[in-house]
Homo-oligomer: A and B are copies of this chain.
Amino acid sequence: MIGLPDGAPDTPFLAVDIDVMERNLTRTATSAAERGLALRPHAKTHKVLEIGRRQLELGAVGLTVATVGEAEVFAMGGFDDLFLAYPVWATPSRSARLRAVAERATLTLGVDSVEGIEELAGGLSGSGVRLMIEIDSGHHRSGVQPNDAGALAAAAERAGLALAGVFTFPGQGYALDGRAKAAREEAEAIERAAASIERLGIDVVVRSGGSTPTLADADSSVLTEIRPGVYVFNDAQQTELGSCTFADVALTARATVVSRSGPNAIIDAGSKVLGADQPGWVTGGGRLPDYPDARIVALSEHHATVRFPSEAPPPPRGTVVRVAPNHVCSAVNLADELIVVQNETVIDSWTVAARGANN
């Protein structure tokens, strides 16, 4: 029975099927290479040094990180090319930390405002950091409108900070039937942003996009680089978006049925193991790959209530089941270690080195 691998700890815990992960890594590395796209995976998904190293071995040009803390962990781990894809607000304290990272690694920072650039220039001029201007391609979170990119490039030039290029996160692709459209919007926004900068005679070398849902549709005639994160493990959201199937889900929580009530089983993995992410378009609080018709209808901290269809009643108490979290980045950030499994036998464990490195 798939469930509790030989040598596993007590449930609940997160297990990585290393063969599935390797297939995911290889598939995306190959696809990027074939399309002439540089691959710079987002390490916020896995936060694991061993996985980052494998991504580089397979051809990644460097890693993307989300926080200064993640940049510190990966720089200390020997990674020498890091892009912090976030509109960094460089207080003196944060600038000092970034300068230390920049002594170990080629460091590129996201910016999305003239004020942010001026703040950075104060603490980081002469540090060798390069900037990437964040573009809003339709997700409407951070990032400037494409036509405003030129103003930021000019501000960077005035501040004496080198511009590497432009980037966007097409998060609007996280919607049913939204993937192809988001990829088109991504390319259009990047193209317009680059044009607004080149008009000033400033080069735009890196044109970076990408997310796991838009990966397959990323426009290699515009983009030079993609930054997917989730693809390493995949998750329940990606299966429901259609970016992958259950066979591509490399990370699952392993959980025990501890209680039953009518059509429901209660399992011991709740929001403190799976994360509580639940966008409106998903069908529940995670998915059970071995019970595709079951749904997680309620999630509390240490309980998931799993409803089984009437023709297939819940498994008995004590059964260990696999659960794909909705959003694997959140689940990994809850765990201190990932249990590495091959053929349902534990072969290793990896420290989630950047767990909680959120500032």
What residues make up the interface of A, taking CB atoms closer than 8 Å to B?
9-13, 44, 66-68, 86-89, 91, 93-94, 97, 112-113, 115-116, 119, 136, 140-143, 171, 256-261, 266, 268, 271-273, 275-278, 298, 300-303, 305, 316-318, 327, 329-330, 333-336, 356, 358-359
Other-chain residue from B316, B318, B336 in contact with A356 (beta carbon distance below 8 A): B336
Which of chain B's residues has its CB closest to A352's CB? Answer: B356
Say whether A142 contacts B259, CB under 8 Å: yes
List 28 A-B residue pairs with CB atoms under 8 Å apart, sorted by A's residue number: A9-B93, A10-B68, A10-B359, A11-B359, A12-B358, A12-B359, A86-B258, A86-B268, A86-B302, A89-B258, A91-B256, A112-B259, A113-B259, A141-B298, A141-B300, A141-B303, A142-B259, A142-B261, A271-B276, A271-B277, A272-B329, A272-B330, A272-B333, A272-B358, A276-B327, A302-B358, A333-B334, A335-B356
Say whether B266 contacts A141, CB under 8 Å: yes
Chain B residues lying within 8 Å of A275, measured Cβ to Cβ, are 271, 276
The A interface, classified by DSSP as helix, strand, loop or mixed, is loop
A173 to B: closest C-beta gap in Å: 13
Measured in the bound complex, the distance between the Cα atoms of B306 and A234 in whole Å is: 29
Tell me how many chains of this kind the complex includes.
2
Say whether B10 contacts A91, CB under 8 Å: yes
Known: A10-B94, A88-B258, A89-B257. 6 other contacts (CB 8 A): A67-B302, A141-B259, A141-B305, A276-B277, A301-B333, A334-B358
Measured in the bound complex, the distance between the Cα atoms of B47 and A301 in whole Å is: 13
Which of chain B's residues has its CB closest to A271's CB? Answer: B330
Chain B residues lying within 8 Å of A277, measured Cβ to Cβ, are 271, 276
A185 to B: closest C-beta gap in Å: 17
Measured in the bound complex, the distance between the Cα atoms of B323 and A321 in whole Å is: 36
Say whether A317 contacts B67, CB under 8 Å: no
Measured in the bound complex, the distance between the Cα atoms of B303 and A10 in whole Å is: 34
Measured in the bound complex, the distance between the Cα atoms of B171 and A67 in whole Å is: 36
Chain B residues lying within 8 Å of A329, measured Cβ to Cβ, are 272, 301
A189 to B: closest C-beta gap in Å: 15
Interchain residue pairs A-B with the least CB separation, the first 9: A142-B259, A276-B276, A276-B277, A10-B359, A89-B258, A87-B258, A87-B259, A66-B302, A142-B266
